[in-house]
A and B are shown apart, each in its own frame.
Chain A
């Protein structure tokens, strides 16, 4: 095995894992605080990617698409929470599944009507459209380094927000001791709205960042949604730091699996999930039994 190739694969795994973290952190927060499994989370990612496609086609710049995606995500998250999800917290899981499944269909149909069903590529921003040689015959795209950097910043911000701020403390409390939050008279509605908006914005941001790397195509969110669920389960339902470490683990296992054990590549992350669940049934960082 050549060391240079391994280095490149580690970078790939890191970049893929960090992107998964952006998606999975929103998924795990929404589940942890509201108890809803949002199947439409992958569609939100898809919306972000198509936002990147539409805005870069019109303006030529991904740097406009990124803040637009985040702002759009916050607005979309608020609307979805306020008018749909809020009415489903007390309902059965089946109702919640039906709601979020219906949203998948609506988002995909909307995408089809608006942009069509073609496969589009999104250009890498001109300023980052160069490669940095990391080994003798292999260079790594500067944009991928930028994605790694941005994702790490977001992860740091999330950590500080959840662990060091008053609102973050309330969110943790709402996830771990929902009754206590009610007793203390904390406004749960506001927390729900915030969490949902942040989760949605993260999914859209991930979509924008992913668009130049993976192209945009119909149902592109499905694959990312499934792997994000694996991340959430391994990390422990509701745990953001769990999602972080588990996303990195999945990113590396999946990438190295594809590179060095292609025969079982499709299987590797699921084997990992099964192994973790046997060892720790509530995931790596799962607090609740």
Chain B
């Protein structure tokens, strides 16, 4: 092998050949061990910082599913290695590398922050480690940068906003704008809203943005009356969402506000009256009426001591997807063909409703339309049924 390129037999070439031989002779043994030793799952999630609670909820949900399966996946015991990624993109490559190379995990589940996800992606695309994403929604991961070993069990940034755009267009809104932070999730959600609105008879006017995570919304809000629009869509999350919704209400604007579901997710208590009546689109809603969701929420509350949220659902589904793959190959991750066939054709009974995988390894799911009523995100309908991400630029599948 090594000698094909260089006709002359070099010392290095001989050594390489010998090493290949030595490695080849050990293959059957490692294979046998690989099937019986515990399955090592690396959880690379934020356990400190702004997103710590998200990381915890995902972890609880993953552990919950493994416990439901009797502590085994595909017949193998499970060992979990946790690593706090601190939501720091600059540390992501070395953290992912540590899990893959030093801890030698078989599967990596992570993460929340999309910048960190890019770091993980760089590492696992090279190592080939099976990776399942429980939150981060940057579209590139399942579009131009898609990889055969990477699956997403959460959502793409484009999806919920597209659902909102469709719903707004169908309601007869004619001119819309999008307001968000000037970063990947902001512009990707803007693209979705724009497409959904324009496909349904509306016109997209402008993307108003400000640097992440600034909350000086006034210069943006004051522009809205002059833009002559009839619907304003927004994507903010956490404290930024609280602030935005309150200032929007205080500004007394006549144009209704709608948004990506994260605008009112986990923030309603702080937003209070200001959020009443706002419609948002997301792949989940607290009161979603299906037996799986009811059972899931009850079990989660028993385990975690708090109510489940969309992040918990995504963690649970990441683990459900892994379980399906592991069962299909009876724990043998080396059987890549059958493993990926099973993952790609997985039909998952999720608390969010039916869910499956697209050819670019992106989740296909319902996008629900919710309306804030009495301090809750009440599901009022389905904005788009079984929505897949376009997966533009993915050369796979």
A259 near B: Cβ within 8 Å?
yes
B223 touches A5 (CB 8 A): yes
Whether A137 lies near B49 (C-beta < 8 A) is: no
Q: Are B239 and A8 interface neighbours, CB within 8 A? A: no
Of the residues B209, B225, B240, contact of A5 by C-beta under 8 Å: B225
Interface pair B223/A215, CB less than 8 Å apart: no
A262 touches B209 (CB 8 A): yes
Whether B220 and A215, one on each chain, are in contact in the complex, defined by CB atoms closer than 8 angstroms, is no
Chain A residues near B291 (CB, 8 Å)? none
Residues of A within 8 A of B222 (CB): 5, 8-9, 12, 138, 259
What residues on A are CB-neighbors of B238 within 8 Å?
118-119
> Which residues from B are CB-within-8-Å of A137?
224-225, 252-255
Chain A residues near B270 (CB-CB < 8 A) = 121
Does B20 lie at the interface of the complex (its beta carbon under 8 Å from any beta carbon of A)? no
Please determine whether B50 and A131 come into contact, CB atoms closer than 8 angstroms.
no
A110, CB-defined interface residue at 8 Å: no
Asked if B203 is an interface residue, CB under 8 A from chain A, the answer is no
Is residue B226 contacting chain A, with contact meaning CB distance below 8 A?
Answer: yes
Task: Render A13-29 as a binary contact track against B, CB cut-off 8 A, 1 for contact.
Answer: 00110000000000000
A4 CB within 8 Å of chain B: yes
Q: Does A67 contact B (CB under 8 A)?
A: no
Check A131/B250 contact, CB under 8 A, given A1-B226, A5-B226, A121-B242. Answer: yes
Least CB distance from A151 to B in Å reads 15
> Which B residues are CB-close (under 8 A) to A266?
211
Residues of B within 8 A of A5 (CB): 222-223, 225-226
A107 to B377 alpha-carbon distance, docked (Å) = 38
0/1 interface trace, chain B 31-65, chain A, CB 8 Å (1 if under): 00000000000000000111010000000000000
In the complex, A133→B250 CA distance in Å?
Answer: 10
Asked whether, in the complex, the Cβ of B225 is within 8 Å of the Cβ of A119, the reply is no
B225 in contact with A135 (CB, 8 Å):
yes
B223 adjacent to A259 (CB under 8 Å)? yes
> A31 to nearest B CB, angstroms?
26
List the B side residues contacting A262 at CB < 8 Å: 208-209
Query: In the complex, how many angstroms separate the beta carbon of A196 from the nearest chain B beta carbon?
Result: 29
Contact B239 A4, beta carbon cutoff 8 Å: no
Minimum distance in angstroms from A22 CB to a CB of chain B: 16
User: Is A215 a contact partner of B225 (Cβ separation < 8 A)?
Assistant: no
**B246: chain A residues within 8 A (beta carbon):** 121
- Say yes or no: B252 contacts A9, CB within 8 Å: no
- A118 vs B49: C-alpha distance in the bound complex, in angstroms? 7
Q: Which of A1, A2, A117, A120 contacts B225 (CB 8 A)?
A: A2
List, sorted by A's number, 22 A–B pairs whose CB atoms are closer than 8 Å: A9-B223, A117-B49, A119-B213, A119-B240, A121-B239, A121-B243, A121-B246, A131-B250, A137-B253, A137-B254, A137-B255, A138-B222, A138-B225, A138-B253, A141-B247, A141-B251, A213-B215, A217-B50, A223-B214, A259-B223, A262-B208, A266-B211
Q: Which 6 A-B pairs have the closest CB atoms?
A: A119-B239, A139-B252, A8-B222, A137-B225, A5-B226, A2-B226
Q: Which residue numbers of A lie inside 8 Å of B, CB to CB? A: 1-2, 4-5, 8-9, 12, 15-16, 117-121, 131, 133, 135-141, 144, 213-215, 217-218, 223, 255, 258-259, 262, 266
Q: Which residues of B approach A to under 8 Å, CB–CB?
A: 48-50, 52, 208-211, 213-216, 218-226, 238-240, 242-243, 246-247, 250-255, 270
